[in-house]
Amino acid sequence: MARRTDQRARVREIPPTAGLPPRWRDLLPPFSSDLAARAARFLGVPQVQIECSGTAALIVALTTLHRLSGRRFVVVPAYTCPLVALAVAYCGLELRLCDLAVDGIDFDEDDLERVCNDRTLAIVPTHLGGRAIDITTSLRIARSVGAYVIEDAAQGLGARQDGVSVGLAGDIGFFSLAAGKGLTTYEGGLLISRDETLRRELARTSVGIVPRKIGWELKRSLQLFGYHIAYRPILLPLAYGLPLRRALRRGDAVAAVGDDFPAKIPVHKLGAWRRSVGARALARLPGFLDAGRVRAANRVAQIEKIAGIKVIGDAANGDGVWPFLLVRMPSRAARDHALTILWRAGVGVSRLFIHALPDYLDLSNIVAPADVPNARAFAERSLTISNSEWLGDDVFAWIAAVLESVIS
Ligand SMILES: *Cc1c(COP(=O)(O)O)cnc(C)c1O
């Protein structure tokens, strides 16, 4: 154990997700003006629409579909990113929560049938943690009530299902380019649709509701520059570890994972310089994601040897991406015990969203109380292990040993 402890002492700070490591020359000339075209090539789609965040992409999608159908109810997983709820509220639409399936991240099929009706605008199945989930059930139920399907692939850029990118089986799909979600322009979003008419309508919406905002672009550009400085093992203790441990000392788990979002969502155009940075980094993304797949496959196998632990995986014919391993522990007590040891240890162990949507105080004016036992159980029993390339095998083995010890 002594050697492992030494190893751990050398670890500075592992980021909670595997972000594509930035390079200085991404920031420099020659500037690239074709992020949309390169992203389209990468995803194997005819066209990609760029927005300033995943949330803004969802806002553009919802605004478009509402204009086309006039319906108002949007069905989302009861355990998902709080920004999804804020996007629905931003559009003046109403949330309907669907519980998760027992012990997984898919929708509970019976609950989905129950919440959908002829007033449902869209169902939003979610590729949480980069998983390629099966959206067949969402599509079937959406079609039966005349609703659309928007695939939330915010965490899943590069994930494939049946050999094509996720986001194409549904009517619209979106990806996030936020810091920590793989490829980043600090904040950014991509919208895709296999339907040409919808693509045209999405572009029309963008022209209508997305202004240029110099102040926001300046702020995001500085943040992207800061990210290039800070996203390295030697500076992450300061940029990520310090605020994390401060939040944990306060007992503020929501702040610790950055779940505390602003009430006002910025919607503006993504500027040319940040597009260029994204376009240049995109060249490295395929190799980066493939290396992540190999690393994750090894580590999933290692962790799943521990009785009682499950790592959330892909649906059949799915080939997801691995920003982190999404781990379901056998009990809340075991999960909490593991986190008391691992969360502040700087080894890249964290949590995804802290609560099921009805349990965020800050969302109480837009999320109605709901009985969503499986979503709550998932929030209480899950943790994440970073798939960053900076998390070495020895440290991973130590994490696995801790997980095993808290269960037995
Ligand atoms: C991050 C995230 C979003 C929002 O994307 P941003 O780019 O951060 O606005 C939406 N859904 C899920 C599941 C996410 O993880």
Mutate to test the pocket of ligand 1, among 151, 155, 274 (most ligand atoms within 8 A of CB): 155
Percent of the chain residues topping a pLDDT of 90: 92
C-alpha neighbours within 13 Å on the C-beta side of residue 134? 12
Mutate to test the pocket of ligand 1, among 74, 83, 326 (most ligand atoms within 8 A of CB): 83
Whether pLDDT at 6 is above 60 = no
**Ligand 1 center–CA 175 separation, angstroms:** 8
Tell me what the mean pLDDT of segment 7-32 comes to: 85
> Which residue's CA is minimally distant from atom 5 of ligand 1?
54
Is the CB–ligand 1 distance for residue 155 below 6 Å? Answer: yes
Whether pLDDT at 4 is above 60 = no
Calpha distance 6→213 (Å, rounded): 49
Q: Does the N-terminal peptide bond of residue 30 adopt cis geometry, omega within 30 degrees of 0?
A: yes
Percent of the chain residues topping a pLDDT of 70: 97
Structure tokens that stand for 21 in this block: 């490591």
**Ligand 1 center–CA 81 separation, angstroms:** 6
Whether pLDDT at 129 is above 50 = yes
Tell me what the mean pLDDT of segment 182-200 comes to: 97
Is the CB–ligand 1 distance for residue 80 below 6 Å? Answer: yes
Whether pLDDT at 8 is above 70 = no
pLDDT band at residue 10 under the 50/70/90 scheme: low
Calpha distance 46→204 (Å, rounded): 17
Q: What is the pLDDT of residues 46-67, one digit of tens each?
A: 999 999 999 999 999 999 999 9
Whether pLDDT at 264 is above 90 = no
Kindly give the number of the ligand 1 atom that is closest to the alpha carbon of 127: 13
> Which residue's CA is minimally distant from atom 1 of ligand 1?
154
68-72, 209-213, 255-259, 404-408: the lowest-pLDDT one: 255-259
Is the CB–ligand 1 distance for residue 176 below 6 Å? Answer: yes
**Ligand 1 center–CA 307 separation, angstroms:** 32
Calpha distance 332→310 (Å, rounded): 14
Contact 171, 148 (CB under 8 A): yes
Q: What H or E segment, with its residue span, contains residue 114? A: helix 109-115
Contact 62, 206 (CB under 8 A): no
**Ligand 1 center–CA 154 separation, angstroms:** 5
pLDDT of residue 11: 52
Whether pLDDT at 177 is above 70 = yes
Q: How far is CA 230 from its chain centroid?
A: 21
pLDDT of residue 150: 99
Q: Which long-range contacts (CB under 8 A, 24 or more apart) does 333-338 make?
A: 334/308, 334/406, 334/407, 335/380, 335/381, 335/382, 335/383, 337/406, 338/383, 338/402, 338/403, 338/406
pLDDT of residue 95: 98
Block residue for tokens 């649906």: 315
pLDDT of residue 106: 98
Q: Is the pTM of this model over 0.85?
A: yes
Residue 400 φ then ψ, to 5°? -60, -40
**Ligand 1 center–CA 211 separation, angstroms:** 21
pLDDT of residue 103: 78
What average pLDDT does the structure give for the chain? 95
Is the CB–ligand 1 distance for residue 54 below 6 Å? Answer: yes
Amino acid at 14: I
Is the CB–ligand 1 distance for residue 384 below 6 Å? Answer: no
Q: What is the pLDDT of residues 273-324, one digit of tens each?
A: 999 999 999 999 999 999 999 999 999 999 999 999 999 999 999 999 999 9
The DSSP code sequence of 289-319 is HHHHHHHHHHHHHHHHTSTT-EE--PPTTEE
